[in-house]
Amino acid sequence: MIVLQNISKSFPSEGGGSVEAVRNVSLRVGKGEIQGVIGFSGAGKSTLVRCINLLERPDAGEVFVGGVELTALSDGDLRAARKKIGMIFQQFNLFASRTAWGNVAYPLQYSMTRADRAEKVAALLRLVGLEDKGDAYPSQLSGGQKQRVAIARALANEPSVLLCDEATSALDPQTTLSILRLLKELNVKLGLTIVVITHEMQVVKEICDRVAVMENGEIVEEGDVFSVFAAPKKQITRDFIDTTSNLSKIHALIAERSPLVRLKPGERIVRLRYVEKNVSEALISTISRKFDVNANIIFGDIEFLGGAPIGGLIIIVSGQEDRIESALSFLRSRNVSVEVISDEPDRRAA
């Protein structure tokens, strides 16, 4: 549905040089997919997404949406093509002087009879769960309600693509979840293709089918969400994933010398991560039995992503040195990623 081919975009910088906001990025988003783009502030996400509807014209590269090369269109044709690409923003961008009704009706003002428009706006407000808020002004609405109005307005021209630039970043976690659920519902109900820009991995985990990780203007990793979570290739991706898992708390526990993670000589703290779908073997009891080692689970974080278990465990393994090695090799052979986090005994515990 969306094809970006070798997109680059630079801006003049203050010192007189230039900033390469997007560097040679290629990305394909299939019809009906929800594509996440994650990265830290300044990574180039907003510039990239604005290149999809040519709010920013790329310096190089081609943009196709629905098979049409937008970068080759005349201004008039581009204006028409843009109607099929909706967009929502972090700050909602509603007209403060118009009611919810007036905001949603705005894109339809020249294209319909008054009666058709009234019917359409009512349907859109219903679609986002705001049928009783038509007369409210933005100042009378909560953040979540404002974003619902913005979504209804973005859908007025029945776009095939919805671009969301940090659409939930100004919202609390509960409201974020309700907006993400609404986006997912629209994706399913309308077959809407959605691009979600975010700096929060939780958002990606919640609704995206695929994710692209951006760093310094480039996509450094891309894949279906399960594979990226199960086997991240880049450190930045691992860091983002850690923000959604309690497993990373282990480092804080070690730093504060918590009694939970104090090691005796020969013991090791190990992080296990499932890297393949359908891992069902009771691996922990298997290694205890098979290798005569003790595996003490410190904490676990296993959840379901796209119907498959993902996550892992932090365990302390104790036993004979060579038996521990064999146990860890065995786990690796069962497609579990094994990372020894610490093997330093706490002298005070000895």
The span from the CA of 34 to the CA of 224, in Å, is: 10
Instruction: Give the interface segment with ligand ADP, choosing from 40-48, 71-79, 128-136, 297-305 (CB under 6 A).
Output: 40-48
CB of residue 7 vs ligand ADP: minimum separation in angstroms? 12
Closest CB to Mg ion among residues 34, 38? 38
Residue 219 lies near ligand ADP (rule: CB under 6 A): no
Residue 338 lies near ligand ADP (rule: CB under 6 A): no
Q: Which two tokens stand for residue 51?
A: 């290149």
Q: Which residues contact 115 (CB under 8 A, 6 or more apart)?
A: none
Residues from 17 through 36 that contact ligand ADP (CB under 6 A) = 19, 21
Smallest Cα–Cα separation from 301: which of 277, 273, 265? 273
Closest CB to Mg ion among residues 165, 209? 165
Instruction: Give the interface segment with ligand ADP, choosing from 37-45, 85-93, 259-267, 294-302 (CB under 6 A).
Output: 37-45
Q: Are 261 and 327 in contact (CB under 8 A)?
A: no
Q: Are 46 and 58 in contact (CB under 8 A)?
A: no
CB of residue 21 vs ligand ADP: minimum separation in angstroms? 3
Closest CB to ligand ADP among residues 211, 250? 211
Smallest Cα–Cα separation from 309: which of 341, 342, 283? 283
The span from the CA of 64 to the CA of 27, in Å, is: 11
Region of 6 please: left (phi>0), alpha (psi -120 to 50) or beta.
left
Closest CB to ligand ADP among residues 10, 288? 10
- Angle (deg, nearest 10), helices 143-154 and 114-127: 130
Residue 47 lies near Mg ion (rule: CB under 5 A): no
CB of residue 91 vs ligand ADP: minimum separation in angstroms? 13
Q: Which one of 36, 44, 232, 319 is in contact with ligand ADP (CB under 6 A)?
A: 44
Could you say which of Mg ion, ligand ADP, none residue 11 binds, taking C-beta under 5 to 8 angstroms by partner kind?
A: ligand ADP
Give 65's strand partners: 2, 68
Smallest Cα–Cα separation from 212: which of 45, 47, 49, 37? 37
Residue 237 lies near ligand ADP (rule: CB under 6 A): no
Site size toward Mg ion (CB under 5 A) is 1
Closest CB to ligand ADP among residues 21, 269? 21
What H or E segment, with its residue span, contains residue 273? strand 268-274
Query: Given CA atoms 213, 219, 225, 231 in this order, what sign does their dihedral have?
Result: negative
CB of residue 32 vs Mg ion: minimum separation in angstroms? 25
Could you say which of Mg ion, ligand ADP, none residue 159 binds, taking C-beta under 5 to 8 angstroms by partner kind?
A: none
Using alpha carbons only, what angle is made at residue 51 by residues 47 and 54, rounded to the nearest 5 degrees? 130
Residue 103 lies near ligand ADP (rule: CB under 6 A): no
Could you say which of ligand ADP, Mg ion, none residue 47 binds, taking C-beta under 5 to 8 angstroms by partner kind?
A: ligand ADP
Residue 43 lies near ligand ADP (rule: CB under 6 A): yes
DSSP label at 123? H
Residues from 118 through 177 that contact Mg ion (CB under 5 A) = none
What residue number has its CB nearest to Mg ion? 46
Residue 46 lies near ligand ADP (rule: CB under 6 A): yes
The span from the CA of 268 to the CA of 253, in Å, is: 14
Closest CB to ligand ADP among residues 42, 143? 42
Site size toward ligand ADP (CB under 6 A) is 11
SS3 letters across 155-187: CCCCCCEEEEECCCCCCCHHHHHHHHHHHHHHH
Query: Given CA atoms 139, 94, 190, 167 in this order, what sign does their dihedral have?
Result: negative
DSSP label at 243? T
Closest CB to Mg ion among residues 91, 160? 91
Closest CB to ligand ADP among residues 43, 208? 43
Residues interacting with ligand ADP, by CB under 6 A? 11, 19, 21, 39, 41-47
